[in-house]
Every structure is written in structure tokens, then in C-alpha cells.
Structure 1
Amino acid sequence: MRNLLTDVPGILVGNAHDAQAATGVTVAVFERSVVASVATLGGAPGDRAVTLLEPEMTRGMIDAVVLSGGSLYGLDAAGGVTAVLCRQGKGAQFGGLTLPVAVQAILFDLTNGGAKEWLTEPVDKRPPYWDLGRDATLAAAQDFALGTVGAGFGATTVTAKGGLGSASTGTRQGFTVGALAAVNAVGSALIGDGPHFWAAPYEQGAEFGGLGWPQKIPPEALAVRFKGQPAPATATTIAMVATDATLTKAECKRLAIMANDGLSKALRPVHAPNDGDTVFAVSTGLAGSGGEPPVLTELGTAAADCLARAVARGVYEATALPYKTAMPDWKTRFGGGRR
């Protein structure tokens, strides 16, 4: 087990970023088309082809999940992803054409200090996201980096640098569950001024420092802190969970809803009006049926716990951007881990 989303058989993950622009793209590619659904609880989402994941919609299978920075500009990334997938022969056949489906969610990282020239220069300055989507897809592999990479490259939280995180676990029925998150939260993954994580009860080993809970949570640690006061909000945590259990699209919908609680376990506040928090849920279908209510309940609980861990790992593994006003990273502020 790598403690990554790719522990779920049939999934590869690739990252690409533009360091000068301080933004990037992460792509989960499936070895064969998979069943998926989604739950969006943030108040200001940005996405592509997400409505087709609702259980009543006809299309049942997808070929990639794209997580991207760049706000609405980042939606170009899925074009680069589908171009590569088409060349690889992935997707459904329609009239002799191969048509891959890449669903996508975006986060807002446009004001993080990076040189985003396409916002101010003439129209021939093209945003980099189509190319980043292509490059991330070509880089897809079982092993991938965490922290300031891919969609997490330009991510922040209100108290520390955000980043890309991942985690995995097994269930009592023998299924594998994994999570992937680009943590650009409107709130904080840390309790008060840190260093403790809200996700501490779910930590495995010392995957994000091994500090556990503080002895006491003081009242001031519960004070609400969030982006946008007074600076512009640069929010949204976008994520996916996956399992090798065989699920229908409706069962994936329930998995996505339950997994969204992982964000509530790891971030405070979450699902805010200017957030676009979105969680995809994927079934690769390479193991037995997971749709019976007791089994699906355990899968959903495991997915929520995994997602909470992935959020904390994204913050723990991040490194600060090289700007004077950049948000400091956890390791610089608190130095390492278990004490």
C-alpha cells in the first residue's frame, strides 16, 4: 500500500504545474471506463460535465477526473486530458469516433502571487491549462507526489499553505478505498494556531506529523477563521474518492455524499457560500458488489475518513511559494512532526 489513491486497482494519477504562474492540474486516469457520481456542497462551484454524473442521467461511465487550479480558466485542462485519452483509445465509441469523458472541478488560485499573464496581456497570451491537462495525463502513474504539486501547487488555507493530499485504506469486506484532495480551503485544517490537525483522530501512523489531539481545545481555537476578510477569497477544496467495490451510479452518489463529511472532519469552516467544494466518487468495479446497505455504509465511512486524512496530508506535505507575501507551510511553521 502506497497510502495513495492509486492503491485502488485500475487508477493512475498524474500532476503538472506551471511554477511561474503558481497553478497546476491533477488528473486521475482510469485503465477502463468507470462508474462515478458527485456531491457538490460548496456554494460557488465550477465544473465540467458534472451534471451527467447524477443517477438519473443516461451516461454511466467516465474515463478521467480532472482537478485544476485557475478558476474558470482551468476548465481548459479537460480538453488536454481528453486529447491524450482519445489518442490512447480510451472512451466510448460513437459513429466510429472515440469519445473519452473527463469530468472536472476547479479551485480559485488566481490571486496567490503567480504571474498569470493571460489575465492582463493581449488575447494571444493563452492560459496554460490545456497543456497542463495534457502533461498531467501523460505523467499518470501509480506513484505521484503530494503537497505543492499539480492542482495543489497554488493552493492555500486560511492558516497555512494548502496542497495535494491522498490516502487509502482497506475495509473488513476486503475492498480498497482511496482519496485525493486539492486543498484550497476557505477555512483551516489546523486547530487554532496549530500545529494540531482537525483530522487527527483519523491519522494512520504519523502520516501528517503524528501529533494527535491537543490536550485541550481552548475556546479561541474554535473562533471562526476564513478567507475573504478583507482580502478576496481564494477558496475551494476539490476531491475524489474511489473504491474497487462494484457500485451503481446511485450507490456512487451515496458514497460521494458520505465522503463529503470527510471535509467536515478536516476543515473548519467548510461548504461556505464562496466555496466550490466538490467530491467525486468512483467505482472501478474490479472487486465484488459493495451496494448492500451495510457494506456501502462501511465504504462511505472509510471514504470520509480517507478524505479527512488526504486533506491533512495535503497541508502537511506542502511547501510555501517563493513570494514575500506567500502563506507559510506547516513544516516551516512547526518543524517536522511528532514531539
Structure 2
Amino acid sequence: AELDSDGVGEFDRYWGGLPHPDDGGLEALLARGLGGTKLPPGTTGTSPMNTVIGVVATDAPVTKAQAERLAMAAHDGLARAVRPSHLPMDGDSFFALSTGGGGETGVGVPGEELALFATVAADCAERAVVHAVLAASSMYEVPSWTELME
């Protein structure tokens, strides 16, 4: 997590008052209904409320195979932000695209650049999911994270 000039983490302001798991944090989360957010108790089959869809876009001239690698890296970021993730009933999908052209030559970007892009794709996907959850509003009788944490 990135720290600002005061040494405060990017998302620390959202966690204030949330007890640490060793100090009863798990019980607090379960009491707020967070234990069943991914798989509500007694649910079977698929749930359309548990799908994450995202896009990784770049202007680098990546090949089709390299774009696939970036999409896979974004899934790693999803796994950091959503637990559990990649369950059999999920429809989690990330797509990658390039506006840079040149990927059709089959050359793409060097392996070192692709490794850096993949790292950034995972970090960006993780941060995007967390930012989206923190910015969401309650809807259709499903409470938002902010409401649950009140």
C-alpha cells in the first residue's frame, strides 16, 4: 500500500474503527453480515451479484499472447482485492487490449517490459476494485461497504 506524506496508507482512512482479527475483528465482520458477501449462507448455484468484469488497456504494441498475459495479471490483482475469488460459480473476467498497433507484427514488447506491465496491471486491478467498493452506494437492499462499516 502506498503511503502519503504523513505516513498514512492509501486506504487507511476507510478502515478506522475496524478491529484487528486478533482483537475480535472476525466476529465484528460476521456481525455486520460480511461473512456471507461472496457466498451467502444457504445459496446454491450461481449468483449474478458476484461477478467482476474489467479491462486492461495499453498503448504499448503488445501481441495477442502478451495481452492475454496482462489479463491474467489483472486476475492476480482481483485475487488480492476479493476473497475468495475465482470460485467455480464466478464469472470473473478481465480482457486486455492495445491501441498501440504494431502488435500484429508478432514482435510485441520485450519480456522485461511485459513483466513490468503485468505487475502494474495487477496493482491497478487491485486498486480499481477497492476504489469501486469504497465508492459504491447501497442498492436494491444490498448494503454498501460504507453502510456496513457505519
Matches of 1:257 and 1:251, distance apart in 2: 10
Higher strand share: 1
Could you say which structure has the higher helix fraction? 2
In structure 1, runs of 5+ residues without a counterpart are 1-200
Q: Which residue of 1 aligns with 2:56?
A: 241
On the 8 A contact 2:55/2:95 being kept in 1, the answer is: yes
| Equivalence for 2:90 | 275
Give the alignment of 1:171-186 within 5 angstroms. none
Match of 2:109 among 264, 282, 291: 291
Residue equivalent to 1:261: 76
RMSD: 3.6
**Mapped partners of 2:138, 2:116: distance in 1:** 36
1:270-313 deviation digits (Å, cap 9, x = unpaired): 000111111101111179x8621111111001000100111111
Question: Does structure 2 retain, via aligned residues, the 8 Å contact 1:202–1:305?
Answer: no
**Inter-partner Cα distance in structure 2 for 1:203 and 1:302:** 17
Task: State whether structure 2 residue 136 is matched by structure 1 residue 318.
Answer: yes
Question: Where in structure 2 are the equivalents of 1:185-264 lying within 5 Å?
Answer: 201=1, 210-211=13-14, 216-218=20-22, 221=26, 225=36, 226-231=38-43, 233-234=46-47, 235-264=50-79
1:220/1:209 CA distance change after superposition, 3 Å: closer
Q: CA deviation at 1:211?
A: 4.3
SS at match of 2:113: helix
8 Å CA contact retained: 1:202, 1:308: no
Q: CA deviation at 1:207?
A: 6.3
Residue 202 and residue 261 in structure 1: after superposition, are their counterparts in 2 closer, same or farther (change >3 A)? farther
Alignment deviations for residues 194-248 of structure 1 (CA, whole Å, 9 cap, x no partner): xxxxxxx368887656447978443974x97432421355221111111121101
- State the distance in 2 between where 1:259 and 1:301 align: 9
- Matched residue type, 2:42: P
Paired residues of 2:2 and 2:10 also in contact (CA < 8 A) = no
- Residues 72-96 of structure 1, C-alpha deviation per residue, up to 9 Å, x if partnerless? xxxxxxxxxxxxxxxxxxxxxxxxx
Query: Is contact 1:240–1:281 with CA below 8 Å preserved after alignment?
Result: yes
Which SS does the other structure have where 1:291 is aligned?
coil
Identity of aligned residues (%): 36
Do 2:2 and 2:9's aligned partners in 1 also have CA atoms closer than 8 Å?
no
TM-score scaled by length of structure 1: 0.33
Matched positions, count: 132
Structure 2 regions of 5+ residues with no counterpart? none
